[in-house]
């Protein structure tokens, strides 16, 4: 998620049960001293994380929960922007100064496998911990699983949703039910009719971004890489279908492209479009438009037509907690198992406090998650989204996820400008293969 959207989402957290779900992107702020963790037996864990209003707030509340049974326990929380977390990990791995690692650090989901594969000496195996990974969506656990070994505890929820303006749909004679469990072909047909009757496109998106096609790809359990990590950009039926769908969305006017992330957010809050498909964290930005309260609803995402394994569920973003090889592993495992992987009290606190929506499935059974949300027409959207998360297909991000996504973004731009699709995708695959050194 972009930094600007993160700031907007944090602002929205002041709303009742606001969804400031922006922790999946890189935060700003001061860097920390860089002092490491390590099992020194002092009942303190050092943690690296970004975003004071979201991740760090969640850690502070988790500390309080754990202190109920362990009053001498403390967290040494060090604010480290995501970009700096990645830089530090790379530097420490190359210098073999693992003693400078904290006990726990936050990791973007799409970067998790790359780091474990490239720097295995930085991570501790969590498979023998008390964390019950079956209580998290399989697709989310897969981000931090390498060769059958668990290295991360899922935290913030990146499940994708379709958010729709019900007042605009009503003008065109539709309801949110007409957009539930549908295909992208059906979505385009409905979108053309809404555009003709109301003058409003359904969607907007940042030109040059592959986010929506990549979400379409995961909705079918497909990836830009095979199980061995080799790029599969060429002759990838699901990717071809996703790009073709995106192109038709733009050509029909159902999706309008804008130049920047700020412009995309503005289309949602200034009545320019009637819907969006994105990670659930986007709802924080939507709720910043207080005059639109009661005019939004959410449902699942469209599925790709004619693609094997196609579903109405996908994700965009999210993060997980990792325990370092320098950690007090026993204490760190117990802390995570009893908080982020075991405390409804924690999630009931951080949902209204920061919009931190759980990946931990039992959290959705609480009264807090089941409360109707007036902004979304009285729907209990939080428990609904956790239910969606359980159905998101797993896919292989691989060690070169970001290189693959960026190369496909360029290919899509070229295709939209008239390039031959096959040639554009061949060039994208060659770019990734070069980055991989193959």
18-48 per-position pLDDT tens digit:
434 333 433 333 333 345 665 455 899 999 9
Q: Is pLDDT at 408 greater than 80 in this prediction?
A: yes
Stretch 58-87: mean pLDDT: 97
With bands split at pLDDT 50, 70 and 90, how would you rate the model's confidence at 13? very low
Q: Which of the four pLDDT bands, split at 50, 70 and 90, describes residue 5? A: very low
Are 358 and 351 a contacting pair, CB within 8 Å?
Answer: yes
Tens digit of each residue's pLDDT (9 = 90 or more) over 331-360: 999 999 999 999 999 999 999 988 889 999
CA dist., res. 190 & res. 368, Å (int): 34
- Using pLDDT thresholds of 50, 70 and 90, give the confidence band for residue 16: very low
pLDDT at 38: 58
pTM of this structure: 0.85
pLDDT at residue 96 tops 80: yes
**pLDDT attached to residue 4:** 34
Would you list the DSSP string of 45-106? EEEEE--IIIIIHHHHHHHHHHHTT-TT-EEEEEE--HHHHHHHHHHHHHHT-GGG--SEEE
| Contact in structure between 323 and 332 (CB atoms under 8 Å) | yes
Q: Is 80 exceeded by the pLDDT of residue 222?
A: yes
Which domains are assigned to the chain? 3-158+316-368 (3.40.190.10), 161-314+395-436 (3.40.190.10)
Instruction: Quickly tell me which residue has 């650090």 as its tokens.
Output: 105
């Amino acid at each position: 998620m972009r930094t600007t959207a993160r700031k907007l989402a944090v602002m929205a957290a002041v709303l009742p049960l606001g969804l400031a779900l922006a922790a999946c992107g890189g935060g700003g702020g001061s860097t920390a001293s860089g002092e490491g963790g390590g099992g020194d037996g002092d009942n303190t864990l050092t943690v690296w994380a970004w975003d004071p209003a979201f991740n760090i707030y969640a850690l502070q509340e988790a500390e309080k929960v754990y202190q109920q049974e362990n009053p001498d326990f403390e967290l040494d929380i060090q604010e480290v922007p995501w970009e700096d977390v990645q830089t530090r990990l790379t530097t420490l791995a190359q210098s073999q100064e693992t003693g400078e690692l904290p006990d726990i650090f936050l990791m973007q989901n799409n970067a998790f496998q790359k780091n474990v594969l490239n720097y295995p000496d930085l991570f501790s195996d969590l498979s023998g911990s008390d964390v019950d990974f079956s209580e998290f969506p399989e697709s989310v656990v897969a981000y931090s699983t390498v060769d059958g070994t668990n290295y991360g505890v899922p935290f913030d929820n990146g499940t994708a949703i379709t958010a729709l303006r019900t007042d605009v749909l009503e003008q065109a004679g539709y309801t949110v039910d007409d957009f539930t469990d549908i295909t992208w072909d059906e979505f385009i047909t409905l979108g053309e009719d809404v555009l003709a009757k109301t003058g409003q496109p359904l969607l907007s998106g940042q030109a040059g971004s592959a986010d929506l096609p990549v979400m379409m790809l995961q909705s079918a359990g497909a990836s830009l890489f095979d199980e061995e990590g080799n790029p599969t950009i060429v002759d990838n039926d699901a990717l071809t279908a996703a790009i073709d769908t995106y192109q038709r969305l733009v050509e029909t006017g159902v999706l309008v492209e804008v130049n920047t992330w700020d412009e995309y957010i503005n289309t949602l809050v200034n009545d320019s479009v009637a819907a969006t498909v994105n990670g659930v964290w986007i709802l924080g930005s939507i709720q910043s438009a207080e005059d639109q309260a009661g005019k939004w609803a959410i449902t699942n995402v469209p599925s790709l037509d004619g693609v094997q394994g196609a579903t109405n569920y996908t994700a965009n973003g999210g993060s997980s907690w990792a325990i370092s090889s320098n950690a007090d592993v026993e204490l760190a495992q117990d802390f995570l198992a009893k908080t982020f992987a075991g405390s409804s009290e924690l999630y009931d606190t951080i949902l209204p406090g920061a919009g931190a929506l759980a990946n931990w499935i039992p959290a959705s059974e609480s009264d807090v998650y089941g409360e109707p949300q007036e902004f979304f027409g009285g729907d209990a959207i939080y428990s609904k989204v956790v239910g969606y998360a359980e159905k998101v297909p797993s896919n292989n991000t691989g060690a070169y996820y970001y290189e693959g996504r960026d190369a496909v973004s360029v290919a899509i731009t070229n295709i939209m400008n008239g390039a031959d699709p096959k040639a554009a995708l061949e060039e994208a695959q060659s770019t990734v293969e070069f980055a991989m050194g193959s």
